[in-house]
Structure 1
């Protein structure tokens, strides 16, 4: 009996030592991280919003972490290849997946099978606000647009089916009860903007970052902004929550994911590195030049995970109701 008790004590001690050794291993890995070049995987082509975001962090990531950075564009299957590649690579923090809201939308729709059980957030750095945008020669404000919808219905464009634009459109319809509108997908932002300016569409849902130039020239104008409070940059434009009480605030978010089994210490190191970049003057200059400063984009790993999980449920419901 004494031998059995002694054996149990020894086994428990071995388990404790093993567990401690594992934790020490993770801490050592974080201390030595990075041990090789880091690859930034972008699930979109060069020159787009996610690609620009990755390149805006590239130089500072290299300087702070002391390693070379390689950007790889994997735009196939709307970013699904990029997500799967990250999940298939080693869980050591040397592969960073730069994503937009398209990631969680495509996951909710079943088009992207690499979910939050295989990838986990490091940080969100951008929250690009959506708006309902019109040709001001056709509608002076949102009230005029609503009157037109009530009498004639409306065709509202956006980029692609099951895009952040369409999700914003569906949220607006659900919250406002304005259901006499149909969504028309276009291949790109430039095409949908041209369709509105050419009177082939009544309006479009899109990000504020892409409309500033046209708003300055008077060719396009946001008439409803999907956010909580009126923006300093658009003080006369109503917003969904403050002015109408509609819970429509999601935009196009951009952040960074890694393999879900990446040691927490490495994720923490990456998170603090990205926060340092986010707070830097260089990054703030990029934000303003890209019109991304309207809403604070920062979320740390845990908060961003909670947001993505909530978005998954929300988008799955919206998409299910489409069928």
Structure 2
């Protein structure tokens, strides 16, 4: 897997922080509070709790995790944005930060939060019940033959899966409908029962259903066919500019000094490249495409996605 490395402040800090327990003078937190903009047990929470001991080891400090899922994570964003800008409060968040911002449901933007690093770029898949559609060609034919009748389920009105639904409608010219559910389990249950025609989900979240044959992914939001799933067609090969996924990363109060942000970024870069983290990524199918982006690159990606999601929401 190719990893993009920064060469300035982050690289300097990495050299100082590569040994567990050794921290740069500019960043030696007495403790860290990590807000998680999601509930317990989900992908973002699992990410935070996997990284927690790795962070504690490298910084020789305690990391306390606090889950704040309310209002699509807006409470976590608010707590992070109003915390002391000393590097002792960080946030683990997913693409919901940007989708809820695009939908006008989150008042905390990239002027108040600074991205430290992206660690995961989970691939979104269009998932169907194989008893209803055996392939994307079958789904596509039904969408074209019965416009306005097929239904896609998702978690809520400002989710990354709704953005995928809006993007597919726009790129493919489909007339699909969307039903938001309170949680992923409800959407899955309705797909299994045949009440809906499809849902967007991440590879890491549907492995059990794939292994049992109850659900199959038929379309990947990706540029190229995935090495692990060579039979699944992609949006790009259909000529559609629709390749975003559910990204997860670390954020901090935007007033935090740049040298502190650079030092924290370097710690997470070291964690990302470690054998322990890569083993976790492989076990949870989070290594299908590279996840790492440094602070500046991650901000650029977030700003690009925000503009695109705002266009999708404005058109719908």
**TM-score (norm. length: structure 1):** 0.88
Task: Kindly name which structure, 1 or 2, has the bigger radius of gyration based on alpha carbons.
Answer: 1
Helix, strand or coil at the partner of 2:199? strand
Aligned mate of 1:96, from 87, 90, 99: 90
More helix by share: 1
Answer yes or no: is the 8 Å Cα contact 1:34–1:94 preserved in 2.
Answer: no
Deviations 1:204-236 (A, max 9, x none): 111121112111111110111110100112111
Match of 1:199 in 2: 194
Structure 1 outlier segments of 4+, above 4 Å: none
How far apart are the structure 1 equivalents of 2:271 and 2:66? Answer: 20
Aligned mate of 1:231, from 218, 226, 233: 226
Deviations 1:260-297 (A, max 9, x none): 11111111111111011111111112112222111111
Instruction: Confirm whether residue 67 of structure 1 aligns to residue 66 of structure 2.
Output: no
How far apart are the structure 2 equivalents of 1:138 and 1:45? Answer: 32
Aligned mate of 1:214, from 204, 209, 213: 209
Answer yes or no: is the 8 Å Cα contact 1:87–1:114 preserved in 2.
Answer: yes
Deviations 1:87-117 (A, max 9, x none): 1111111111111000011112221111111
How far apart are the structure 1 equivalents of 2:44 and 2:133? Answer: 32
Q: Which moved more, 1:52-61 or 1:74-83?
A: 74-83
Number of residue pairs the alignment of both structures matches: 292
Instruction: Confirm whether residue 304 of structure 1 aligns to residue 302 of structure 2.
Output: no
How far apart are the structure 1 equivalents of 2:42 and 2:192? Answer: 22
How far apart are the structure 2 equivalents of 1:273 and 1:35? Answer: 13
Match of 1:146 in 2: 140
After superposition, where does 1:168-179 map in structure 2 within 5 Å? 168-179=164-175
The offset of 1:32, in angstroms, is: 4.2
Aligned mate of 1:158, from 154, 157, 160: 154
How far apart are the structure 2 equivalents of 1:210 and 1:237? Answer: 17
Deviations 1:114-156 (A, max 9, x none): 1111110100001111111111121111111111122223111
Answer yes or no: is the 8 Å Cα contact 2:29–2:59 preserved in 1.
Answer: no
Match of 1:321 in 2: 315
How far apart are the structure 2 equivalents of 1:222 and 1:281? Answer: 29
Aligned mate of 2:260, from 257, 260, 266: 266
Unaligned segments of structure 1, at least 5 residues = 1-28
Instruction: Confirm whether residue 182 of structure 1 aligns to residue 177 of structure 2.
Output: yes
